[in-house]
Amino acid sequence: MKKSASLGVDIGSISTKGVFVGAGGNILANAYLWTQGDPVGAVKELLAVLQKQAPDTEIFAVGTTGSARRLIGAMLGADVMKNEITAHAIGTLSRHPDVRTILEIGGQDSKIILLENGIVKDYAMNTLCAAGTGAFLSSQAKRLGIPIEDMGRMALQSTCPSKIAARCTVFAESDMIHKAQAGHTKVDLVAGLCHAVAANYLNNVGKGKQIAAPIVFQGGVSKNQGVLAAFEKELGTKIHVDPDSHLMGALGAAILASKASKRKAPFDFSTLQLHYTTKAQVCSGCANNCEIVQFYRGDALLDSWGRRCEGTASAV
């Protein structure tokens, strides 16, 4: 017997996450893949993995979030395309209804979400600098010659973390090279880097915010025990990390889609076998010179975006 479910996709510049969510918010299948600069290809692969995990599932609602939510939303005919703040808040509240603060650090950006009585009252994002993000930690792990998965474990072994200036990737790398040459161990360098990530986040993304418990830490970096321990030390309180912390955006998108969908027929996975292309053009209709992106399935135009004026498609 087929199970009815909702599909949520969180597509970012570094990673692509997806879930099938059944009745009661239960995750029936989940996947986490690298985007690798090809969001369309990543989503095709993602859905193949999800289908393999839950082959007897029919999708009656589709939601997307993340930086490529509109692109993938057009591809999947999404019922909702929500920003990351809303999706992460809804996903987290479904697991932690009393949450007051959400700390989120992803591959390329980070955000903080403050809630009161289950409603988002404030938020902030850092998208201008990669310092302190997953990509930053990954690059430093590679430079130190250690697996990114081992960073958290190593950090917890340190008794004297090195003081690393992580406000900028250039400064951090320079500081780490200098301290390594001065004799600091890799364990202390990694611990110092984890502490610097937490301090950088609180001094920038969380600056001026009233961070109240219960606190939930999510995003890929939440799996780093060293960064988690650094946040708990800085804030002086226990911080929760959900087992599915890396999937909260996708979970939120699926929940929102389930409430909005009016589909009578299930999602047709066979459409993913068709050819998808994007075409970028500069509109010459006026002085704005808008950069228009058009998205096609075969020869059919699914959607276009980028226009900042009231011009028409014929002006492209």
DSSP class of residue 315 equals G
The per-residue pLDDT of the chain, averaged, comes to 89
- Mean pLDDT calculated for residue range 5-29: 93
Q: What is the pLDDT of residues 97-122, one digit of tens each?
A: 999 999 998 877 889 999 999 999 99
Q: What is the pLDDT of residues 32-64, one digit of tens each?
A: 999 988 999 999 999 999 999 999 999 999 999
Q: What's the rounded Cα separation, in Å, for the pair 35 and 33?
A: 6
pLDDT score for 168 = 66
DSSP class of residue 211 equals -
The more confident residue out of 310 and 205 is: 205
pLDDT score for 315 = 41
Q: What's the rounded Cα separation, in Å, for the pair 247 and 11?
A: 11
The more confident residue out of 197 and 129 is: 197
Buried-state track 1-18, b at ≥16 Cβ within 10 A, e below 16: eeeebbbbbbbbbbbbbb
Question: Does the pLDDT value for residue 228 go beyond 70?
Answer: yes
Question: Does the pLDDT value for residue 20 go beyond 50?
Answer: yes
Residue pointed to by tokens 């591809």: 75
Q: Does domain 3-90+250-273 have CATH number 3.30.420.40?
A: yes
Q: What's the rounded Cα separation, in Å, for the pair 212 and 97?
A: 14
Q: What is the pLDDT of residues 127-184, one digit of tens each?
A: 556 666 777 788 888 888 888 888 889 999 998 989 887 666 667 778 888 888 888 9
Domains of the chain, by residue range, sit at 3-90+250-273, 98-241, 276-315
Q: What angle do CA 210, 103, 43 make, to 5 degrees?
A: 145
User: What is the pTM (predicted TM-score) of this model?
Assistant: 0.86
CATH assignment of 98-241?
3.30.420.40
The reply to whether 98-241 shares the fold of 3-90+250-273 is: yes
Q: What is the pLDDT of residues 232-275, one digit of tens each?
A: 999 999 999 999 999 999 999 999 999 999 999 999 999 888 88
Q: What's the rounded Cα separation, in Å, for the pair 267 and 7?
A: 9
